[in-house]
Amino acid sequence: MRVLGIDPGLTRCGVGVVDVRPDRTAALVEVTVIRTPADMPLEQRLLAVGTGIDQLLDAHRPDVVAIERVFAQHNLRTVMGVAQVSGVALHAAARRGLRVALHTPSEVKAAITGYGSADKKQVQAMVARILGLAEAPKPADAADALAIAICHAWRGSPAADGRAAGGAAEGAAQTPAQAAWLAAERSARTSGVPRRLAR
For the annotated catalytic residues, the residue numbers are: 7, 68, 141
Give start and end residues of each alpha helix (H) in the chain: 42-60, 76-95, 105-113, 120-131, 140-156, 176-191
Q: Name the DSSP letter for residue 33.
A: E
Give the type of residue at 41. P
Determine which helix (DSSP H) or strand (DSSP E) holds 102, and give its type and residue range.
strand 99-103
Q: Which long-range contacts (CB under 8 A, 24 or more apart) does 123-130 make?
A: 123/147, 126/175, 126/177, 129/175, 130/26, 130/175, 130/177
Nearest to 35 by CA among 57, 53, 54, 62: 53
Report helix, strand or coil for 80.
Answer: helix
Determine the Cα–Cα distance for residues 69 and 84; give it in Å rounded to an integer: 12
| Helices 140-156 & 176-191 angle (0-180, nearest 10) | 50
